[in-house]
Amino acid sequence: MRRPRMRRAVQWTVMLGLLLAAAGCDRIGVWSAPAKRPAAHRSAAAVDADRVFWAVLHQGEYDRIPEALTAVKAAYLEHPDDAVTASHVGWLHIWRLAERARREKVGPEITDDAVLARKYFEEAVRLNPKEPRYLGFYASVLMAEGTIHHDEKLVRRGFFAMKDAVAAWPEFNYFTSGYTMSTLPAESDGYRQALESLWRNLDVCVGEKVDRVNPDYARYMRLETRDGPKRACWNSWIAPHNFEGFFLNFGDMLVKAGQPETAVVMYGNARLAREHGAWPYRDVLDARIRDARSNVEAFRQPEPAPGAPAIMIRSRFACTGCHQE
């Protein structure tokens, strides 16, 4: 009696196992697929595409973004295992979305740039998960895409990815975090958090807590470096006016927060850079200092009127304020 029962039990176990395997074979098939691996070397086409990318960005030629996208996407499709090229595609889509104020007419299709930027930065992060800049940009476009599509889960995914990015490179990603959230309403907790991210950015750059009332940066200029993680705090060949753009944006955010007096001091720090005389946006800075008080309400508008002053992230120089030579 025991043997037939045992045989039936074994048969049922085998049948159950087969049924479970059949039901889960799709998942097993996906799970067992080989992972996408990063390229060991960059192709000549990728290096040539880099030159187009940097030339267009450093010259601030927004109208040439389609040309640059053609070059970098062709290089990516030839070698879709190149993290750098993937990131450059993502960056061009971010730039086109961010500086849409340059366009005479902005159609709803501009939001596609957020989706495409997220896709390509997602690829860059997969190929090089140890690059915190990719993670920071990926987090920012996750939040942007989630906001556009009213997808709170996507927004939260981006929020927590940004926390990881900040932990990985605070000197770089405190700014990415604060800048991304600078579109939030001035009275919101999120906007206060964005401001705090920029204050913490200054703190980690100089190794102490910067005065929140009189943030005169002159005493810290001796710390300037081109090496290590603190290089993100200064100008570089990648962002020739990173320093000036950072303080222009910080001043804008303080104005939006209703702190024009502190903003004037913050704006003034941009003039401390050795490269300030060559910065294309010197006149913008001068106007910001002059109009700090009157810009408070203008910067709080969710959608600024054509020609009206706008906080940096909604301006014609949202990216080129740091990257244009």
Task: List the domains of the chain with CATH numbers.
Answer: 37-168 (1.25.40.10), 190-325 (no CATH)
User: By mean pLDDT, which of 207-211, 269-273, 281-285, 304-308 is the weakest?
Assistant: 304-308
User: Among 102, 105, 162, which residue's Cα sits nearest to residue 132?
Assistant: 162
Lowest pLDDT segment from 6-15, 38-47, 97-106, 113-122: 6-15
Predicted TM-score (pTM) of this structure = 0.90
Sequence letter at residue 215 = P
pLDDT, position 29: 61
Q: What's the chain's average pLDDT?
A: 93
Q: pLDDT tens digit string along 120-174?
A: 999 999 999 999 999 999 999 999 999 999 999 999 999 999 999 999 999 999 9
pLDDT at 51 over 60: yes
Residue 176 banded pLDDT, cuts 50, 70, 90: very high
Confidence class of residue 39 from pLDDT cuts 50, 70 and 90?
Answer: confident
Does 1 score more than 50 pLDDT?
no
The answer to whether the CB of 210 falls within 8 A of the CB of 265 is: no
Which residue has better confidence, 287 or 9? 287
**Cα gap 37→20, rounded to integer Å:** 31
- 4 contacts: CB under 8 Å, gap ≥ 6: none
Identify the pLDDT of residue 89: 98
What is the mean pLDDT of the segment spanning 250-278? 98
Residues 149-160 pLDDT 10s: 999 999 999 999
List of residues 6+ apart from 295 with CB closer than 8 A = 252, 255, 260, 288, 309
Residue 54 contacts residue 240 (beta carbons within 8 Å): no
User: Would you say residue 6 has pLDDT above 90?
Assistant: no
Asked whether 78 and 45 are in contact (CB, 8 A), the reply is yes
